Amino acid sequence: MASLDKVLYTARAHTTGGRDGASRTDDGRLDVTLSSPGTSGSGTNPEQLFAAGYSACFIGALKAVAARQKLALPQDVAIDAEVDLGTLPNAYGIAARLTVHLPGMDRTTAQALVEAAHQVCPYSNATRGNIDVTLTLA
């Protein structure tokens, strides 16, 4: 496992009750009720939070790579993220699918950008070799 060369930011959250509890960040910017997927609870769940986090992070990676390559990224870049919760032998696991929308961008250039972003995105690096991740260019 590679160690970080330099810590740029540390997120801090306090969670109680697990999937049927609550979570709040130390700065108060995130304060959510949690409920298990498929239940009548009114809260979000870890898989939804992971989908939102991964897709937001991946857009950041797209922006960074595009800037480095001096490419104009479409204003309306978007990602539809899906995170599956399922079973493994004797455990639970997740899988992720990201559908990347880069409207108006040449398909070959867009595909190369998605592949380059997948190499620099922190979520992609954290999940690589650990869960199935499928990237699709819309």
Domain range enclosing 113: 45-137
Residue 76, token pair as written in the block? 């309306």
Q: What distance in Å separates the CA atoms of residue 127 and residue 53, rounded to the nearest whole number?
A: 13
Question: What are the backbone dihedrals phi and psi of residue 34, each rounded to the nearest 5 degrees, phi first?
Answer: -110, 145
The model carries a pTM of: 0.94
Residue scoring higher pLDDT (112 or 1): 112
- Same domain for 92 and 27, yes or no, is no
Residues 36-46 have pLDDT tens digits of: 998 988 999 99
State the total domains in the chain.
2
DSSP code for 48: H
Is residue 100 very low, low, confident or very high in pLDDT (cuts 50, 70, 90)? very high
- Same domain for 60 and 102, yes or no, is yes
Looking at the DSSP assignment, which residues form a beta bridge with residue 25?
13
- Same domain for 16 and 31, yes or no, is yes
- Same domain for 50 and 25, yes or no, is no
Nearest to 118 by CA among 97, 95, 138: 97
Write down the pLDDT at residue 38.
85
- Same domain for 99 and 67, yes or no, is yes
